[in-house]
Amino acid sequence: MIASSHQPRVRPPRSLREASLLEAPTLLMRKVRGLSSQEGLTWLACVPLALFGLGVFNLSAHAAELPELTPAFLINNLWLAIAAFLVIFMNAGFAMVEAGLCRQKNAVNILAKNLIVFALAVTAYWFIGYSLMYGDSIAGGWLHFKGLFFDPTVTAEMVTEGKLTPSVDFLFQAAFAGTAATIVSGLVAERIKFKEFVIFSLILVGIIYPIAGSWKWNANGWLNQLGFIDFAGSTLVHSVGAWAGVIGAMMLGPRIGKYVDSKPQAIPGHNLALATLGALILWLGWYGFNPGSVLAMNETVPYIAVTTTLGAAGGGIAGTLISQFHSGKPDLTMTINGILAGLVSVTAGCDGFPMWAAWVVGFFGGAIVVYAVSFVDSIGIDDPVGAFSVHGVGGIWGTLAVGLFNKDAGLLFGKGFNQLGLQFLGVFAYAVFTIVTAWILWSILGALTGGIRVHENEEMVGLDISEHGMEAYPDFVASSN
């Protein structure tokens, strides 16, 4: 019998489970409707090739239009991109601090708010906020606008003069805008309706914050023209967010159980390890916040990094010491808030403070925050994480401190009261504008939606279940709330 010269036919694989590593991609493609034919696969293969060709064409077109990229252009834009990434990472820090200092039953709600608020901030700021903040003056330095969105075009002048591209500048500024809205989240935590908070954040970042910010950070802004100083946003970012949030907290009222016979009761957070991690993340992110505000890479950047560090160190030491004197034992939450208050305090003048002054300003910020937390509680405002004490009071102190400790304009350096007066004017103007606009916005939201606070039974159960239908720690037994 003669053996057949033909090899036995191998049945092609019918499923991915039967297919080899080499056979699986083809089989998967054939499962997609319209790709079962050889022609379909051929056209699919052309897609990445066409995209690559288009990308090369665009790159070539831009390369032909622009001169050779200069070292100054590259390093300035690279540095600001890194700074923007650090500020964006601060959202993780805010989420950890707020979640850790609040109760377990509201952890999902807090994390969800901190995630969505940045997505909203970027969208609103891209749509209109950036234009309101950095557009052309249309009302004597009080209001600015230059159309919707922004023009990302890179010009030859930007390259030759080492300027920032519009895209990287937008990314950095959008990260700041998101910070202002995140501060609000801490003040209204554990009793705000999720949708109402989302709408408020969208309008705050898209309209309120950019208009206020343009007064100083737009070259044509009226406060900038007068000489008001707020280098990285002690007032423009932190106090604006704090004022907007405290109005919401006042309208919401305190959490159930916060006051017994008109006396404030401690409601401990569920995870201080998480809060501590958040504080360290925020400290790290501040190296994008303050040094990045130079908007270039030069000799000022490392100096500001040091003054920022000294402010945080002074604040942390003061928060720990004062809490020891105040309650008899060092309070970890006051160490956390002291560090953050020190950072907020030094932010307005970090470029103009001597190093010793940066530590002193941070120390006073950390000391003030301990008493501010007690004072806010005593007047019936429930601030679950001490956000107003850190960002509001710390922001006010830091902005006024510029009038005292600035090397070129401060009272303590023999420069008179002029700068201190301008700092008071700026603090007052931002407080009035934000309080009025936030009150109007919170009131409208409450009237349209039947109130901005969740129902009592929903608050008792926790916002994780009532607002999101899930728990942060479903595999663990919840402690008594």
pLDDT tens track, the chain, 481 positions: 334 444 444 455 555 455 554 454 555 455 544 445 554 444 444 444 444 444 443 443 444 488 888 888 999 999 999 999 999 999 999 999 999 999 999 999 999 999 998 998 899 999 999 999 999 888 889 998 998 988 888 888 888 888 889 999 999 999 999 998 899 999 999 999 999 999 999 999 999 999 999 999 999 999 999 999 999 999 999 999 999 999 999 999 999 999 998 898 889 999 999 999 999 999 999 999 999 999 999 999 999 999 999 999 999 999 999 999 888 888 999 999 999 999 999 999 999 999 999 999 999 999 999 999 999 999 999 999 999 999 999 999 999 999 999 999 999 999 999 999 999 999 999 999 999 999 999 999 999 988 999 999 998 998 889 888 888 888 765 554 4
Q: How far apart are CA 262 and CA 267, in angstroms?
A: 15
What are the structure tokens assigned to 80, written together? 């600001």
Contact 83, 64 (CB under 8 A): no
What are the structure tokens assigned to 161, written together? 């003069």
Say which amino acid occupies 426: G
Contact 77, 164 (CB under 8 A): yes
Residue 131 has a pLDDT of 93
- What would the 3-class secondary structure string for the chain be? CCCCCCCCCCCCCCCCCCCCCCCHHHHHHHHCCCCCCHHHHHHHHHHHHHHHHHHHHHHHHHHHHCCCCCHHHHHHHHHHHHHHHHHHHHHHHHHHHHHHHCCHHHHHHHHHHHHHHHHHHHHHHHHHHHHHHHCEECCCCCCEECCCCCCCCCCHHHHHCCCCCHHHHHHHHHHHHHHHHHHHHHHCCCCECHHHHHHHHHHHHHHHHHHHHHHHHCCCCHHHHHCCCCCCCHHHHHHHHHHHHHHHHHHHCCCCCCEECCEECCCCCCCHHHHHHHHHHHHHHHHHHCHHHHCCCCCHHHHHHHHHHHHHHHHHHHHHHHHHHHHCCCCHHHHHHHHHHHHHHHHCCCCCCCHHHHHHHHHHHHHHHHHHHHHHHHCCCCCCCCHHHHHHHHHHHHHHHHHHHCCCCCHHHCCCCHHHHHHHHHHHHHHHHHHHHHHHHHHHHHHHHCCCECCHHHHHHCHHHHHHCCCCCCCCCCCCC
Residue 86 has a pLDDT of 96
Residue 478 has a pLDDT of 54
Contact 284, 309 (CB under 8 A): no
Contact 307, 358 (CB under 8 A): yes
Look at strands 144-145 and 136-137 and give their pairing: antiparallel
Residue 47 has a pLDDT of 46
Instruction: Output phi, psi for 145, to 5 deg.
Output: -165, 145
What are the structure tokens assigned to 468, written together? 């999101």
C-alpha dist (Å) from residue 82 to 89, 115, 345:
11, 20, 23
Q: How far apart are CA 175 and CA 154, in angstroms?
A: 21
Q: How far apart are CA 332 and CA 268, in angstroms?
A: 12
Residue 420 has a pLDDT of 96
295's torsion region: left (phi>0), alpha (psi -120 to 50) or beta?
A: left
Residue whose C-alpha is closest to residue 392's, from 363, 449, 431? 431
Residue whose C-alpha is closest to residue 185's, from 104, 280, 121? 121
C-alpha dist (Å) from residue 186 to 166, 167, 249, 336:
32, 30, 10, 14
Residues 233, 238, 241, CA angle at the centre, nearest 5°? 130
Q: How far apart are CA 395 and CA 179, in angstroms?
A: 13
Residue 42 has a pLDDT of 44
What are the structure tokens assigned to 89, written together? 């990472």
Contact 203, 399 (CB under 8 A): no
Rounded to 10 degrees, the C-alpha dihedral 97/100/104/106 comes to -10
Q: How far apart are CA 321 and CA 313, in angstroms?
A: 12
